[in-house]
């Protein structure tokens, strides 16, 4: 299958997100430039972490306006798989592909650390390889990961099992309902603050993130 990694000016986890599918899982992987509209026929788009356009306005607010995001929205509306990690999650909420908003961490500081996540929904295209309620350790690294949405939205997210990952034990950033990652109703767009690409190799001490990429590949193969 073919992965596409979006490169905005200021994306800085693009190379990390490229490394996992390309070098570890040996899948075809391409970079997608923000000024282009061509998704190069990829099967899954990854919007990586970083500071797109410097994040000098609200995080992700300018990235939403880029030519490539117009194509990503179309791709998502057609059922294509989209994964937004960290800044990518922020971009997805700004682009309206996911509900809610990511506010400044409650500590008002950048936080980089391993956190525990609970896999709340293992029936998505991104989480099939995990067990239901599995506790995994994945690092976060962000200024703005404090998820918020209105109560109606939260109830809907809960009811439709759209909360895929919740912080387990400690809530590092004040996120509502311990939300670390959510999926859209259709189940093809996932946004998450933690970085699965940082825990996908033994040498990095953990591979709890690798199953996410493997799940995507497994789903794609089943569809074929």
Partner 1 sequence: MWSEQSSYKSSKIHLKKLPTTGAFVVQGPGENAGIIDIGDGLCVAFKMESHNHPSFIEPFQGAATGVGGILRDVFTMGARPIANLNSLRFGAADHPKTPHLLKGVVSGIAHYGNCFGVPTVGGEVYFDECYNGNILVNAFAAGIVKKEEIFKGFASGIGNPVIYIGSKTGRDGIHGATMASDVFGGGNEERRPTVQVGDPFTEKLLLEACLEAMKTGAIVGIQDMGAAGLTSSSFEMASRAGTGIEMDLDKVPLREEGMTPYEIMLSESQERMLAVVQKGRENEVLDILKKWDLDAEVVGIVTNDGHMRVRKGGEIVVDLPIAPLVHAAPVYERPIKRPAWQDKVQKLDLKKIMQVPVAPSPHPSPSRGEGEGGGAIYNSAFKKLISSPNIASKAWIYRQYDHMIGTDTVVLPGSDAAVLRIKGTNKGIALTVDCNSRWCYLDPYWGAAHAIAENARNLVASGATPRAVTDCLNFGNPERPEIMWQFEQACLGLSEACRQFETPIVSGNVSLYNETGKEAIYPTPVCAMVGVLEDVTKHATQFFKGEGDAIILLGENTDELGGSEYLKVIHNKVAGTPPVLDFAREKSLHKVTLTGIARGIIKSAHDVSVGGLAVALAECCLREGRNPVIGAAVEINANLRHDALLFGEAAARIIVSCSPKDADLLLTIAKSFGCPASVIGTSGGRNLKINDLIDIGLDEIYNLWIGGLLITDH
- Only one of the segments 50-58, 90-98, 150-158, 182-190 lies at the binding site for partner 1 (rule: CB under 8 A); that segment is 50-58
Which of 37/220 has CB closer to partner 1?
37
Closest approach, Cβ 138 to partner 1, in A, equals 11
HSE, side-chain direction, 13 A CA sphere, residue 93: 24
Q: Which of 86, 120, 214, 219 is catalytic?
A: 86
Answer for which of 6, 39, 43, 50 binds partner 1 (CB under 8 A) is: 50
Contact string (CB under 8 A) for partner 1, positions 91-110, x = contact: ------------------xx
- Only one of the segments 76-84, 119-127, 175-183, 197-205 lies at the binding site for partner 1 (rule: CB under 8 A); that segment is 197-205
- Other beta carbons within 10 angstroms of residue 88's beta carbon come to 30
Query: What SS3 class is residue 44?
Result: strand
HSE, side-chain direction, 13 A CA sphere, residue 6: 37
Question: What distance in Å separates the CA atoms of residue 111 and residue 113, rounded to the nearest whole number?
Answer: 6
Question: What distance in Å separates the CA atoms of residue 130 and residue 132, rounded to the nearest whole number?
Answer: 7
Token pair belonging to 113:
């650390």
Residue 56 makes contact with partner 1 by CB under 8 A: yes
Which stretch of DSSP H or E encloses residue 72? helix 67-77
Residue 205 makes contact with partner 1 by CB under 8 A: yes
**Binding-site ranges for partner 1 (CB under 8 A):** 9-10, 12-13, 15-16, 19, 23, 49-51, 53-56, 109-114, 139, 141, 143, 195, 197-198, 200-201, 203-205
């Amino acid at each position: 299958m073919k992965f596409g990694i979006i490169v905005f000016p200021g994306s800085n986890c693009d190379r990390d997100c490229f490394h996992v599918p390309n070098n570890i899982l040996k899948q075809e992987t391409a970079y997608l430039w923000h000024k282009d509209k061509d998704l190069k026929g990829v099967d899954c788009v990854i919007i990586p972490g970083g500071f797109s356009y410097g994040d000098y306005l609200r995080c992700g607010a300018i990235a939403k306006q880029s030519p490539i995001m117009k194509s990503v929205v179309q791709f998502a509306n057609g059922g294509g798989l989209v994964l937004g990690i960290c800044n990518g999650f922020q971009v997805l909420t700004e682009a309206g592909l996911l509900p809610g908003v990511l506010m400044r961490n409650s500590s008002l500081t950048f936080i980089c650390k391993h956190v525990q996540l609970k896999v709340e929904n293992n029936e998505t295209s991104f989480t099939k390889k995990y067990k239901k309620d599995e506790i995994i350790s994945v690092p976060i690294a962000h200024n703005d990961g404090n998820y918020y949405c209105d109560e109606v939205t939260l109830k809907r997210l809960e009811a439709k099992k759209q909360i895929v990952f919740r912080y387990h034990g400690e809530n590092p950033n004040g996120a509502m309902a311990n939300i670390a990652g959510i999926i859209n109703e259709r189940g093809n767009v996932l946004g998450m603050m933690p970085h699965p690409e940082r825990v996908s190799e033994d040498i990095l001490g953990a591979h709890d993130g690798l199953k996410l990429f493997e799940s995507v590949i497994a789903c794609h193969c089943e569809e074929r």
